[in-house]
Structure 1
């Protein structure tokens, strides 16, 4: 791995690869973090520190997902709910029960009234 880009737009993405936010980092990352200026949202970004380590000759290795594997982005509540639902529906113990519950709720909700108040 030669470089990373933090949340590029579709047009700016340099490849079809994505980081799944699981890292094994060397202690060099702590010096890089200490010298990294705040980025998006005024926060020090791990991606910027990793880029600094890579630029200074550090080694980066990525592992591609298999074609049967999926990546879930849970960066906001909506995407978290979708990912949670996907996993819950696929669960051998609870999937059928949840599927029946969701169907019942959708059928009874009508015009968006979830019956919660």
Structure 2
């Protein structure tokens, strides 16, 4: 199964981290020295994605600007001999035509955001990557999923899953577990935020998906679900009646950067993964922990 396109839903308001996101899209908040959106685009690029599709909304133009060239900045860096900085910008610069942007004109949920990308995706399997969830690992989560997809039927759908404590399963979408082969298993049902004590497993649905284009047909007629929104999980439950879904237990450390505590933890984790920052940060953390 060849996965060439990835959809990045970036129209959300980021209300969990207000007031930081009042004027700044949450996807542009920085983890160490890169915005969130750059990390997930890098993850997709590592996985072999060729076309990056952003579903945006109001106040998100800076995301498009981030992936564009800034000729004034390039000229200034060149004039000052800032070769290292120029190399960083060149490395992150996408190829011309590799990115598309479309609008979700109302906050109608993740399922609706994915549906908004239907004409750009076309009739081929595609990835969905939620930008406020980072996975610290090499290879990245999406690369692991695409490797798993290569071992499955070409009409398969895949969901990245992570084990959560049993007493917290009511806070997540949870997969039922069928036949297993290593870190891959057949999804035997999906439940969005099951009542306490009723979850079919402790494996939660996280922010990485590989979906067949038939999901758009389901989303087209899907009724509004939890929160009055069109839920992607509801659409996957509908599609699962006709196509196989598989869960992939990925390797890596997941960080929910859409919450304030998760955002802070991600900054620490990614900084500690950088040799040039690790020792100084460790010393500073010991100082603050001692207070």
* Corresponding position of 1:11: 197
1:28 CA displacement? 0.8
Deviation at 1:10, TM superposition (A): 5.1
Higher strand share: 2
The alpha carbon displacement at 1:58 in A equals 1.2
Aligned pair 1:82/2:265, yes or no?
yes
Normalising by structure 1, report the TM-score. Answer: 0.69
Unaligned runs of 5+ in 1: 111-117
* Pairwise CA distance, 1:23: 1.0
Partners of 1:22 and 1:49 in 2: how far apart?
A: 15
Change (3 A) 1:30 1:10: same
Question: Aligned match of 1:65 in 234, 247, 250?
Answer: 250
Q: Shift of the alpha carbon at 1:18?
A: 2.0
Distance in structure 2 (CA, Å) of the matches to 1:9 and 1:84: 33
**Number of matched pairs:** 105
1:26 to 212, 216, 234: 212
Conserved 8 A contact 1:2-1:54: no
Distance 1:73 1:10, change over 3 A: farther
8 A contact 1:29–1:50 mirrored in 2: yes
2:230 to 30, 41, 44: 44
Shift of residue 72 of structure 1? 3.6
In structure 2, what is the Cα distance between the partners aligned to 1:12 and 1:76?
26
User: Could you tell me how far apart the structure 1 residues matched to 2:270 and 2:289 are?
Assistant: 19
Deviation at 1:71, TM superposition (A): 3.7
**Contact 1:28–1:53 (8 Å) recurs in 2:** yes
User: TM (normalized to structure 2)?
Assistant: 0.32
In the superposition, relative to structure 1, how do residues 21 and 31 fare at CA in structure 2: closer, same or farther (>3 Å)? same
Deviations 1:30-62 (A, max 9, x none): 11112222222222111111111002x211122
- Aligned with residue 287 of structure 2, among 93, 104, 114: 104
- SS of equivalent to 1:20: strand
